Structure 1
């Protein structure tokens, strides 16, 4: 896996030349919950918004829903610069944070934002069959939870298998340390319960690309968690789980990982 790091510059160079003639528009602070619900919860109304950056003069484009990191206790929605101008849309999502809310509220918010994308992306020209879900750290955890535990999207009448691909960056695959803190468990005590992506391994999940930093530089065994998820997905018969380890990079490994995300999106679209 470490041998892949030397090709990243080449991949990025190729991807950066893609779709240069397309113009883009960015809309900010769109609510992904309905008005009636927003009236009942001021914190929901404040936090549960998203930004969309999309190509204006093309149709049937793919979309990447991107969840920010921050330990589920901080962070703000973002449209990563490395994902812009690639011919697809990027949706940056805010979600409610602990300790103002507890699990599973922020997972439910992530599902609601993904559901909004499925139900609204055609209005902007996108194809709801080409929706990818990604994010870094806490965002990677949320992406994996909604993609693997089908119950969250079922609430919105959506089958999680409709997601075109899951690409979490350095996300917990055991129960998130913030969820454990809410349960009175220390961050050094690993647990696997219904709030762990590992609890929901299944053969029929969307393609899963796991990306982490160097195992010796990552947080608290984050590489090993992802390696375990990869192994268990293979054990249950999932055919498209891949793990990349970014040699020499720690937890903040997004910059070298973005080209791999772009490459994975293009690989799946080319099927």
Structure 2
């Protein structure tokens, strides 16, 4: 397990610059990722949309699908500034939120967004063979669930193992606390069931990078559950997995972690 310090992060920032300084970029907003909108509720129509930021004049670029955080109860789709102008196609996904829907519905929306990306991203110069799934906090949890539970993408005739890489930032690997809260289970009581990425540990998962904040500064147990996920993946025979602990940073560690995501995409593209 590797612990990253600030010097290493500056190095990654420097090496990630210069991929596409001559490219121009375009943003397309509010695309519905449920193709047939006729049977959708007004809330689903409003929330289940994505934005795409992509370079013009260059095809088959790597794609990063980004899920926002917010505990499955808040937040909105976003294209992180730190991922712009790197030569990539960035997909910022919105999804329905608890308590308007059960939190498990968020996973269904996230899966539909990933499936839409596989089937449509070539129209926006993205490479469907180079799709990386990422997100922060609740978004990291959604990234994990869409890939770890293969049955979800199977419904769209997509093999989750065709994802190029999985990079959750401070994501739950146990059942999400909002799902537990809906069942009356306190946050201090861990559950591992079909809504836990840990439930689906296997040895053929795409290359995975787990990033959390400092174990002493993170949200309750977040580092430790990622460390356990890392260990169980290793025990299962998955060798292509790494965990980084961002020493000195708490749960909101996205800014120093983005260079790690960029470097990961470069290495696995």
TM-score by length of 1: 0.97
1:27 aligned partner: 28
SS in 2 for 1:35: coil
Deviation for aligned residue 1:156? 0.9
Equivalent-residue separation in structure 2 for 1:186 and 1:142 (angstroms): 21
Structure 2 partner of 1:113: 113
Per the alignment, residue 67 of structure 2 pairs with 67
**1:4 Cα deviation from its structure 2 partner:** 4.2
How far, CA to CA, are the matches of 2:104 and 2:3 in structure 1?
35
Q: Which structure 1 residue ranges, 5 or more long, are not aligned?
A: none
SS at match of 1:70: coil
Query: For the Cα contact (< 8 Å) 2:32–2:48, is it kept in 1?
Result: yes
Instruction: Indicate the residue corresponding to 1:251 in structure 2.
Output: 251
Q: Which whole-Å CA distance do the structure 2 matches of 1:108 and 1:34 have between them? A: 14
Deviation at 1:124, TM superposition (A): 1.5
Aligned partner of 1:197 in structure 2 is 197
**What pairs with 1:1-271 in structure 2 (closer than 5 Å)?**
1-37=2-38, 39-269=39-269
Aligned residues, how many?
268
The 2-side partners of 1:174 and 1:35 are apart by 33
Secondary structure at the counterpart of residue 144 of structure 1:
helix
Q: Which runs of 4+ in 1 moved over 4 A?
A: none
Distance 2:9 2:239 in 1: 24
RMSD: 1.0
Distance in 1, matches of 2:174 and 2:27, equals 35
SS at match of 2:216: coil
Matches of 1:114 and 1:142, distance apart in 2: 11
Mean CA deviation greater in 54-63 or 28-37: 28-37
Aligned residue for 1:193, secondary structure, equals coil
Give secondary structure in 2 for the equivalent of 1:256.
helix
Query: Structure 2-normalised TM-score?
Result: 0.97
Instruction: Decide whether aligned partners of structure 1 residues 203 and 21 sit closer, same or farther in structure 2, where only a CA change above 3 A counts.
Output: same
Moved more, 94-103 or 60-69: 94-103
**What secondary structure is seen at the aligned counterpart in 2 of 1:50?**
strand
Q: Distance in 2 between matches of 1:139 and 1:3?
A: 22
Work out the CA distance in 2 between the residues paired with 1:154 and 1:103.
21
Name the SS of the counterpart of 2:256 in structure 1. Answer: helix
